[in-house]
Amino acid sequence: MTTARFPDGFLWGGATAANQIEGAYDEGGKGLSIQDVTPRGIMYDRVAGPTADNLKLEGIDFYHRYAEDIALFAEMGFTVFRFSIAWSRIFPNGDEDTPNEEGLAFYDRVLDELEKHGIEPLITLSHYETPLHLAERYDGWVNRDLIGFYERYARTCFERYGDRVKYWLTFNEINSVLHIPFGSGGINTPREELSRKDLYQAIHHELVASARVTRVAHEINPDLKVGCMVISMPIYPLTPDPDDVIAVMNADHANLMFSDVHTRGYYPGYAQRFFRENGIVLDITDQDREDLAHTVDFVSFSYYMSICESGDPQVKADGAGNIMGGVPNPTLAASEWGWQIDPKGLRIVLNQFWDRWQKPLFIVENGLGAKDQLVEVDGEMTVEDDYRIAYLNDHLVQVAEAIEDGVELWGYTTWGPIDLVSASTAQLSKRYGFIYVDRNDDGTGSLTRYKKRSFDWYAEVIRTNGASLEAREVLKV
């Protein structure tokens, strides 16, 4: 047991994305999204159209099984559930004038179910699932027209659900556009053909769109809370050499610029210097500047790992990671997919973000992707996932430390509370859940749900508001 104290009303739950769970890719009037043509995952090239090997087309069939799944979340005591709306369910092509009623009605039903169980929804408007038509016809976010299409979509969602959904996120991991332009920004032009100017112009359009819909949300209902969402990754200097520390500073700037703009309402000096020195002249209108001034209510982020940086060009930055990699840390162990495990990094990042922005924070993704073995125990099928329990326990202990440090944190949602299709590799065998889903990488399986050992563990953490967590020495390499 720890002396961990999470504030009263702290929100506990899990997080998902439409394209990784819903399936039913062509049902209910849904249009194609960029995920329907990336069978190998968002890090890889697209293919011409939907193919049978794309696990996301069926996902875990949440579209038809949402009631059963939400009931299991409720059994664990969730007080919040983060999910995304598939943009292409609401506007199948993205550029229509009127929304698809069948798509809107689906999320009404999901919200009814959450309400029945007293679970607060937290909705991501855009989670790597730009309508494919917007990628093909407009080249995604490189095109300024996307701002208007996104605003229409967001307004539709706020007007429809704004009286029952308080918490909203504009773009999932917005800082990933730099690394996966198609997956994150719906940019159809191959990466190698994109100039830096193209990329930063696309980013600018997303930042403007995010700020503009934050204003729209507040106009529709001043009680709505709109947050940004970024990949957090503490970056450590490989050595005490000041050149390594400067390398860290530069890498931090590249990554934190997004939330700096979201929270301050303008581009910081270091970004302006970067644009100047790299000949990047962005098209920024007066209206854009006015829009950007509508800052977010809170900052949310994913946290899986940390990384190192070095000022020495000889040092290889070949460490795997959540979309971004870097120089591997010689002191840390890694997951089966090479992501280095660093619970203390979460405390560091919570403090860094709080100190930097003084905005309430929300951890909306954290978890361990691992290969699970379904076994029979006392006549029940389960997974003895002590490794997952250890990972989550150790991270949550550090969250408690950060709260003790004075960080204002609204809640914590683990990534993939139920097994889902991986974003980077499109595998189902990279499992994060408390609930096992019987589906395999070759698409076989009954889709039956089974509770893993971590299911009861997380239920107890929530029931005791964190008091059941165990402070213990964290294993390194």
Between 297 and 365, CB nearer to ligand BG6: 365
Q: Which stretch binds ligand BG6 (CB under 6 A): 23-31, 49-57, 96-104, 420-428?
A: 420-428
Which residue is associated with the tokens 């919200």?
111
Distances (CA, A) of 425 to 17, 136, 238, 369: 15, 23, 28, 11
Burial class (CB in 10 A: 0-12, 13-18, 19+), 166: middle
Which residue is associated with the tokens 């003895």?
384
Between 122 and 292, CB nearer to ligand BG6: 122
Between 244 and 365, CB nearer to ligand BG6: 365
Which residue is associated with the tokens 């994305």?
17
Shortest reach from residue 35's CB to ligand BG6, in Å: 10
Our finding on whether 422 is near ligand BG6 (CB under 6 A) is: yes
DSSP of 140-153, one letter per residue?
GGGSTHHHHHHHHH
Out of 120, 173, 309, 401, which one is annotated catalytic?
Answer: 173
Which residue is associated with the tokens 């039913």?
24
Between 216 and 235, CB nearer to ligand BG6: 235
Out of 22, 206, 309, 365, which one is annotated catalytic?
Answer: 365
> Which residues between 56 and 95 bind ligand BG6 (CB under 6 A)?
none
Question: What's the sign of the alpha-carbon dihedral 166, 171, 175, 180?
Answer: positive
Q: What is the dihedral of CA 433, 439, 442, 444, to 10 degrees?
A: 180
Q: Pick one of 129, 139, 173, 288: the residue that binds ligand BG6 (CB under 6 A).
A: 173
Shortest reach from residue 458's CB to ligand BG6, in Å: 18
Q: Pick one of 407, 423, 469, 474: the residue that binds ligand BG6 (CB under 6 A).
A: 423
Between 126 and 188, CB nearer to ligand BG6: 126
Contact 147, 205 (CB under 8 A): yes
Backbone angles phi, psi at 41, to 5 degrees: 120, 165
Listed residue (30, 31, 35, 96) closest to 63, CA to CA: 30
Between 176 and 188, CB nearer to ligand BG6: 176
Encoded one letter per residue, x for contact with ligand BG6 by CB under 6 A and - for no contact, window 360-399 reads -----x---x------------------------------
Our finding on whether 175 is near ligand BG6 (CB under 6 A) is: no
Q: What is the dihedral of CA 289, 294, 299, 304, to 10 degrees?
A: -40
Q: Which stretch binds ligand BG6 (CB under 6 A): 57-65, 157-165, 245-253, 422-430?
A: 422-430
Interhelix angle 269-277/242-264, rounded to 10 degrees, is 110
Q: Which stretch binds ligand BG6 (CB under 6 A): 237-245, 258-266, 312-320, 424-432?
A: 424-432
Active site residue 365: yes
Shortest reach from residue 324's CB to ligand BG6, in Å: 10
Residues in the interface with ligand BG6 (CB under 6 A) total: 15
Our finding on whether 323 is near ligand BG6 (CB under 6 A) is: yes
Task: Point out the residue whose Cβ comes nearest to ligand BG6.
Answer: 424
Shortest reach from residue 322's CB to ligand BG6, in Å: 5
Distances (CA, A) of 311 to 43, 204, 246, 332: 26, 28, 7, 20
Tokens of 467: 């008091």
**Residues 6 or more apart in contact with residue 471 via CB below 8 angstroms:** 2, 4, 397
> Which residues between 261 and 320 bind ligand BG6 (CB under 6 A)?
302
**Residues 6 or more apart in contact with residue 126 via CB below 8 angstroms:** 84, 87, 150, 170, 171, 172
Which residues, listed in sequence order, are joined to residue 436 by a DSSP beta bridge? 450
Our finding on whether 202 is near ligand BG6 (CB under 6 A) is: no
Our finding on whether 17 is near ligand BG6 (CB under 6 A) is: yes
Between 139 and 365, CB nearer to ligand BG6: 365
> Which residues between 102 and 121 bind ligand BG6 (CB under 6 A)?
none
Q: How many angstroms separate the CA atoms of 45 and 188, rounded?
A: 10
Listed residue (31, 61, 200, 216) closest to 129, CA to CA: 31
Our finding on whether 419 is near ligand BG6 (CB under 6 A) is: no
Our finding on whether 172 is near ligand BG6 (CB under 6 A) is: yes
Q: How many angstroms separate the CA atoms of 38 and 49, rounded?
A: 9
Q: Which stretch binds ligand BG6 (CB under 6 A): 24-32, 55-63, 209-217, 417-425?
A: 417-425
Between 89 and 430, CB nearer to ligand BG6: 430
Q: What are the residue numbers of the active site?
A: 173, 365
Binding site for ligand BG6 (CB under 6 A): 17, 20, 172-173, 302, 322-323, 365, 369, 415, 422-425, 430
